[in-house]
């Protein structure tokens, strides 16, 4: 297929516009069309230049705005008409972002594409909350898993491996299954008193965090009324947040991005 367009699968990071990569910002500034997800923060969308066509295809839990196969077809169709198509995704396109699915579809249909990494939530959100992913004597590794399968399939994870006390566990998209997640971890031997936290909309002015243990986390999150998007962190390094949390949500600009527009 001969197309004149290039599709850039761009990671926008977790929400703070100051965490955009230079390449991501450059491509946003030169885009003809921006196709964006629900998880791209309003602060970042405010940086898209006026006049650029914007197409929302965001998917919320249980409310899929545009099915994935239609997004794939849309990108192919746009590549026939536009020169620079930015497919803007929250976090990193290849970390639970379906970026690889879209890239494979584009490849199979002869569409030129590039993938631009973004800072994934496991790294950025925990850092803003003062929770190191690794720390000598506390955590020797990190495990990243999804807490929600497509089409609401049963949550089938290797819980025995996730009970490893030497590693920090980070769960993406797990709010709706939080009760099951903490109970499964306890059932396979992770102590009920294991420190754990849930962080909502990390790195943005709307960041909120609830801390507790595996035994108390589900109830505390319910009482706090947290909503998606969140990440769940399980492990001893959660306790360091009391000393290392440095981020004050109001420090992020509420209306105008902290860095200059294009």
Q: Which residue's entry shows tokens 């492990």?
A: 235
Active site includes 193?
no
C-alpha 213/C-alpha 124 separation (Å) is 22
DSSP states of 101-161: HHHHHHHHTT-EEEEE----HHHHHHHHTT--S-BTTTBSEEEEEES--GGG------HHH
The backbone torsions φ and ψ at residue 6, rounded to the nearest 5 degrees and listed phi first, read -120, 135
Residues comprising the chain, all counted: 262
Q: Which of 16, 37, 89, 92 is catalytic?
A: 37
Q: What is the DSSP letter of 144?
A: E
Active site includes 37?
yes
Beta bridge partners of 233: 170, 197
Q: Which of 23, 32, 59, 164 is catalytic?
A: 59
Q: Active-site residues: which are they?
A: 37, 59
């Amino acid at each position: 297929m001969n197309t004149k367009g290039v599709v850039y699968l761009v990671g926008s990071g977790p929400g703070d516009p100051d965490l955009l990569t230079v390449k991501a910002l450059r491509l946003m500034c030169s885009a003809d069309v921006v196709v964006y997800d629900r998880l791209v923060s309003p602060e970042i969308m405010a940086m898209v230049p006026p006049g650029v066509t914007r197409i929302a295809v965001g998917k919320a839990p249980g409310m899929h705005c545009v099915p994935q196969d239609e997004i794939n077809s849309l990108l192919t169709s746009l590549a026939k008409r536009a020169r620079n198509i930015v497919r803007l995704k929250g976090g990193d396109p290849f970390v639970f972002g379906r970026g690889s699915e879209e890239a494979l579809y584009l490849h199979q249909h002869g569409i030129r594409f590039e993938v631009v990494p973004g800072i994934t939530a496991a790294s950025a959100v925990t850092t803003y909350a003062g929770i190191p992913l690794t720390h000598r004597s506390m955590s020797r590794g990190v495990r990243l898993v999804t807490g929600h399968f497509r089409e609401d399939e049963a949550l089938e994870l290797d819980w025995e491996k996730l009970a490893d006390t030497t590693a920090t566990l980070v769960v993406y998209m797990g709010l709706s299954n939080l009760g099951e997640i903490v109970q499964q971890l306890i059932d396979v031997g992770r102590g009920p008193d294991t420190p754990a936290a849930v962080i909502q909309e990390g790195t943005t002015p709307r960041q909120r965090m609830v801390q507790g243990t595996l035994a108390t986390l589900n109830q505390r999150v319910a009482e706090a009324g947290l909503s998606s998007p969140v990440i769940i962190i399980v492990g001893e390094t959660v306790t360091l947040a009391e000393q290392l949390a440095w981020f004050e949500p109001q420090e992020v600009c509420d209306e105008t991005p902290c860095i200059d527009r294009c």
